[in-house]
Amino acid sequence: MSAEEVSIVRVGAGSFATAYVWQSYNSVVLKKVAEPLQNDVLLREYNRLQALYPQVGNELLFKVPKAMEHFPSYSFFPAGFKDNKQSFVARIYLGKDCTEPKRFFNPLNFPLDANRLSQLEVGVPIAEIARDMGRLLSRIHFKAGFDGRDIEFVLGGHQSNPLRKIGFYCFDFNQLRTWKSAQDLVDSFLANDPYYPRPGHEYWDDFRTGYLLEAANGEKDTEIAEEVLSLLVSRLKQ
């Protein structure tokens, strides 16, 4: 296998697509759909990411990828490329306790709750992680106008260089929708994996502070943001 081929590293996969990092091309991320018929969905994600990226900024802890180009085929992969079947990201679940022992362990899909994050000593206070998670979600809602459905918040590093600084990322935008009401935003929040802290749990206040901070630029946005948080409290008490 050539150096070109081994420089493409698999970082995650789902039912829709697999993501790779092309290390020799300034760590460009490639997303390959599972089925060619899903290419239209990938194109829609590309277009929505193009619209979203300028609105969310790049100064927050979590980075959103910039969509560079859409390819309708897999022709850009080296001919001899073989999927290495490994992933090097971990999902940040501040809304779930993952410490209960399980019979099966999947190292390719490893969730990080607050307890595991604290043991990793990632160099960023968990309160800041929760706050910036709220800030980014709020920007997606009120600046970009999307509901944030099925987005992921992850921690990533580099398996060949453990000393390299780890990074916090937000990706997977293929299910984004525009929204019309606070209820739409609540439904998307609850449909996602438990990335966000829940009301009454540790770090909820930090998440809430970040979410409201980014909505404070407009009176209407602030009202909707407060309604979203209030509805979440009500729904999760049921």
For tokens 């293929």, the residue is 174
CA distance 170 to 185: 17
Residues in the chain: 238
Helix (H, G, I), strand (E, B) or coil at 177: coil
How many whole angstroms separate alpha carbon 212 and alpha carbon 222?
7
Question: In the prediction, which pLDDT does 72 show?
Answer: 73
> What are 182-205's pLDDT values in tens digits?
999 999 999 999 999 999 999 999
Q: Which residues contact 99 (CB under 8 A, 6 or more apart)?
A: 113, 115, 116
User: What confidence score (pLDDT) does residue 37 get?
Assistant: 85
Q: For position 163, what pLDDT does the model report? A: 43
Q: What would the two tokens of residue 37 be?
A: 């018929």
Confidence at residue 73, expressed as pLDDT on a 0 to 100 scale: 66
Question: What is the per-residue pLDDT for 162?
Answer: 45
Calpha distance 50→69 (Å, rounded): 10
From the list 181, 200, 169, the residue with the least C-alpha distance to 61 is: 169
Per-residue pLDDT, 1: 45
pLDDT under 70 in the chain at which residues? 1-6, 23-27, 73-88, 99-109, 157-165, 238
